[in-house]
Amino acid sequence: MSKVAVIQMQSTDQMQDNLTAAAGFIRSAAEQGARLAVLPENFAFLGRHERDKCQLAESFGAGPIQDFLAEQAVRHDIWLVAGSLPVKAMGDTSQPPEKVYAASLVYNSDGQCVARYDKIHLFDVEVPGRPGERYRESASLHAGDKLVVVKTPAGRLGLSICYDLRFPELYRELTAQGAELLAVPSAFTEATGQVHWDVLLKARAVENQCFVLAPNQWGRHPGGRRTYGASQILGPWGESLGRMAEGIGCVVAELDMEHLQEVRRGFPCLKHRRLPLDTES
């Protein structure tokens, strides 16, 4: 068994304040015995406008946000999943860049970045029933094109970010590649979170028979954006192992990998899958 943590934040457009807050939550997670902690999407910066993040974009492997993550991992002897931070495209020397990647980086307890996932599905939507609430991530983000599963002390972890949650085929492929845990760091909006957050997370846990680690942003942010919170950890049978409805802090839970294997052995739906099938034209 091993303990993991998900961290709920109320990030702002003041990067240093956000990093100071994150440091306190990482310390708390480590003090509670967590070997792996997952930060939410946009943990280091959540600006008034989509393009604001481009001002802080870092080259992969260098920059104050990445230095912070490496230092925290070593200080607390913990693995960290950095929900997302803005990373420049390779070779892009413009300042600020027109577009960046929303990159989720995984650091081991030696402070080494051992995995990187770039958000594949970009949040370009107009929220039904919320006139004027629209988002266009494609205006500031490049879309990623690779799935990532990384071995951690808590198990094999499949990476994703926020809007990816609505695409079950992504998680099925992560599971096919050996994922036992699924990370879903998010800044899920209040409007959509109220109706979809819990049910989508539970579905991803049940259908893939995986633990789901889902840290979210919470509350009101610069520019008036509101996020839902309800950061949580779910088991492979869909059971809740810990949930924080509101506020900021961390949720810590112990993962029983033998339980996961028992679920998969006794209810082997992953092996029963018969798709894709041939179709007649």
- So which residues are the catalytic ones? 41, 119, 162
CA distance 87 to 62: 10
Q: Are 199 and 234 in contact (CB under 8 A)?
A: no
| DSSP for residue 49 | S
Phi, psi of 276 (to 5 degrees): -80, 150
Burial 124-145 (b: 16+ CB within 10 A, else e): eeeeeeeeebebebeebbbebe
CA distance 68 to 108: 13
Contacts of 254 (CB under 8 A, 6+ apart): 1, 2, 3, 241
Phi, psi of 219 (to 5 degrees): 95, -160
| C-alpha distance across the termini of the chain, in Å | 50
- Helix, strand and coil in the chain, % to nearest 5: 30, 30, 35
